[in-house]
């Protein structure tokens, strides 16, 4: 069978290599770690998670849940590894980062059709059949090479990650386990605020000092809404956080029986349950400021911070003008892109884009035409959006029910509407896969 190259062993690169290899093609997977690391990566393993350990909801009628259902049908490697290394997170799929990376790495290294080359940075765009999945932290050399090939200006933004605290340092008398509206297991630690506590915390947060960006980065500074630092969000207004990551809806404080004025949730970050991350609290504050301000959170007054939040530059293509629905570069048919570099937002979205690129390059190598996924599937709709030339001001897009085409018959009830959309998507994907094997 024909050979292919995949650059980058993140979520998308591993999925692309897996899809190509399972289709019978020889694959060489390049990864610059451990010789060189991006500013945010620390582990030598493949599919390293940086910002969070959560892959979001598993509810089939949610956008994130539907995407996972589709990925399962498409033979996702990362979804399988995620289920094996899951930690309790209520209705969400969250994983032990290290175990997850190890599970993906083990499968990739064991596949007879995949040859891995680690510790080697690729600085030029390959000439032959290839998938570039170098991620939002693409090295400067590769970024320059892609920019020279595409002739399009990159868009840059900054991504931020949340702090992680030691479970044993959390005051259990001022916190409690619960999920919103009692859905699923009570896996989240809740830190309830009174109004005075919230006001004091808010004032400290908006006045805290952030990391000073160097001039060459400040020029390109652009915050993406999906990973906005908590201090930036707070400056939009005193109640912004109470309608965002500190919303108190669906929560009752056990010792008062009432809803708190505001609420912060902590989510388990590993299997043992001794690490918890502060949900939605990506930040670029100076480390001493993080310690000072976040210890004002009820229950975290003596918190041991095992990792402070960090912020790093991310890059993505102006995909609507460059890629088709199969994630193939329009000006060069043997070259595909995958992952967050294409402008999909989120872990599972990145992995799913790798599946799309890998499957379509595999078809092309087998002498078949690449075949886009149906637009009424979540993944198909996502690929359609990021490749639509009509999108003028392109920003990264994650899975959401709003990008799916409307039902033929309007349904007012949201849950019923989403149920029908999810059923339609799965039926459509099922027919798509049946046609491939016919």
| Token output for 190 | 């809740």
User: Over 70: is that where the pLDDT of 155 sits?
Assistant: no
What is the CATH architecture assignment of 164-312?
Beta Barrel (2.40)
> What is the pLDDT confidence band of residue 222, given thresholds at 50, 70 and 90?
low
User: Over 90: is that where the pLDDT of 209 sits?
Assistant: yes
Q: Which helix (H) or strand (E) holds 97?
A: helix 97-110
What is the CATH architecture assignment of 3-154+317-437?
3-Layer(bba) Sandwich (3.50)
Q: 3-154+317-437 and 164-312: same fold?
A: no
User: Over 60: is that where the pLDDT of 58 sits?
Assistant: yes
Q: Which helix (H) or strand (E) holds 108?
A: helix 97-110
For position 397, what pLDDT does the model report?
85
- Tell me how far apart the alpha carbons of residues 314 and 312 are, in angstroms, rounded to a whole number: 6
Angle between helices 77-84 and 11-22 (to 10 degrees): 120
Q: What is the pLDDT of residues 326-376, one digit of tens each?
A: 999 999 999 999 999 999 989 999 999 999 999 999 999 999 999 999 999
Q: Please state the φ and ψ torsions of residue 18, each to the nearest 5 degrees.
A: -65, -45
- Tell me how far apart the alpha carbons of residues 12 and 354 are, in angstroms, rounded to a whole number: 4
For position 402, what pLDDT does the model report?
84
- Tell me how far apart the alpha carbons of residues 228 and 248 are, in angstroms, rounded to a whole number: 20
SS3 for 315? strand
- Tell me how far apart the alpha carbons of residues 245 and 282 are, in angstroms, rounded to a whole number: 10
Domains in the chain: boundaries: 3-154+317-437, 164-312
Mapping DSSP onto H, E and C, the string for the chain reads CCEEEEECCCHHHHHHHHHHHHCCCEEEEEECCCCCCCCCCCCCCCCCCCCCCEEEECCCCCHHHHHHHHHHHCCCHHHHHHHHCEECCCCEEEECHHHHHHHHHHHHHHCCCEEEEECCCCCCCCCCCEEECCCCCCCHHHHHHHHHHHCCCCEEEEEECCCEEEHHHCCCCCCEEECHHHCCCCCEEEEEECHHHHHHHHHHHHHCCECCCCHHHHCCCCECHHHCCHHHHHCCCCCCHHHCCCCCCCCCCCCCCCCCCEEEEEEECCCCCCEEEECCCCCCECHHHHHHHHCCCCCCCCCCEEECCCEEEEEECCHHHCECCCCEECCCCCEEECHHHHCECCHHHHHHHHHHHHHHHHHHHCCCCCCCCCCCCHHHHHHHHHCCCCCCCCCCECCCHHHCCCCCCCCCCHHHHHHHHHHHHHHHHHHHHHHHHC
Residue closest to 263 by CA, chosen among 175, 328, 203, 333: 175
Omega before residue 210 within 30° of 0, cis: no
389 vs 359, more confident: 359
Q: What is the pLDDT of residues 65-93, one digit of tens each?
A: 999 999 999 999 999 999 999 999 888 99
Q: What is the pLDDT of residues 19-54, one digit of tens each?
A: 999 999 999 999 999 998 887 778 889 999 987 889
| Token output for 3 | 């050979």
Average pLDDT value for residue range 266-286:
88
- Strand spans (E) along 119-203: 130-132, 155-160, 164-166, 176-178, 188-193
For position 366, what pLDDT does the model report?
95
170 and 189 Cβ atoms separated by less than 8 Å: yes
The answer to pTM > 0.75 is: yes
Q: What is the pLDDT of residues 158-202, one digit of tens each?
A: 667 789 999 989 999 999 999 988 887 888 999 999 999 999 999
For position 224, what pLDDT does the model report?
63
């Amino acid at each position: 069978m024909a050979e292919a190259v995949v650059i980058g062993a993140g979520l998308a690169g591993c999925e692309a290599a897996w899809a190509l290899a399972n289709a019978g093609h020889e694959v060489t997977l390049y990864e610059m770690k451990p010789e060189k690391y991006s500013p945010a990566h620390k582990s030598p393993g493949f599919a390293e998670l940086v910002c969070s350990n959560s892959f979001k909801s598993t509810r089939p009628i949610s956008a994130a849940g539907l995407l996972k259902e589709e990925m399962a049908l498409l033979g996702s490697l990362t979804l399988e590894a995620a289920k094996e290394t899951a930690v309790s997170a209520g209705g969400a799929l969250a994983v032990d980062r290290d175990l997850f990376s190890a599970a993906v790495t083990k499968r990739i290294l064991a596949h007879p059709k995949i040859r891995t080359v680690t510790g080697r940075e690729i600085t030029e765009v390959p000439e032959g059949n290839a998938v570039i999945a170098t991620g939002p932290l693409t090295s400067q050399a590769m970024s320059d090479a892609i920019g020279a090939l595409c002739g399009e200006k990159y868009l840059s933004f900054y991504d931020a990650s949340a702090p992680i605290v030691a479970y044993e340092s959390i005051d259990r008398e001022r916190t409690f386990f619960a999920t919103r509206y009692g859905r699923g297991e009570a896996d989240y630690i809740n830190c309830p605020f009174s109004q005075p506590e919230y006001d004091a915390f808010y004032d400290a947060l908006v006045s805290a000092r952030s990391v000073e960006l160097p001039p060459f980065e400040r020029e390109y500074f652009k915050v993406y809404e999906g990973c906005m630092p908590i201090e930036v969000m707070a400056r939009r207004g005193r109640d912004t956080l109470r309608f965002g990551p500190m919303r108190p809806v669906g929560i009752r404080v056990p010792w008062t029986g009432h809803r708190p004025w505001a609420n912060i949730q902590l989510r388990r970050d590993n299997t043992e349950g001794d690490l918890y991350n502060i949900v939605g609290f990506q930040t670029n504050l100076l480390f001493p400021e993080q310690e000072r301000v976040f210890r004002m959170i009820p229950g975290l007054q003596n918190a041991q911070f095992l990792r402070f939040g960090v912020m790093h530059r991310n890059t993505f293509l102006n995909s609507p003008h460059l890629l088709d629905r199969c994630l193939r570069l329009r000006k060069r048919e043997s070259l595909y892109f995958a992952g967050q570099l294409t402008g999909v937002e989120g872990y599972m979205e990145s992995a799913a884009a790798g599946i799309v690129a890998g499957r379509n390059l595999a078809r092309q190598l087998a002498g078949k035409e690449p075949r886009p996924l149906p637009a009424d599937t979540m993944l198909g709709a996502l690929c359609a959006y990021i490749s639509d030339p009509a999108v003028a001001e392109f920003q990264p897009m994650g899975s959401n029910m709003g990008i799916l085409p409307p039902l033929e018959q309007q349904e007012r009830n949201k849950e019923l509407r989403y149920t029908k959309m999810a059923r339609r998507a799965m039926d459509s994907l099922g027919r798509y896969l049946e046609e491939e094997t016919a």
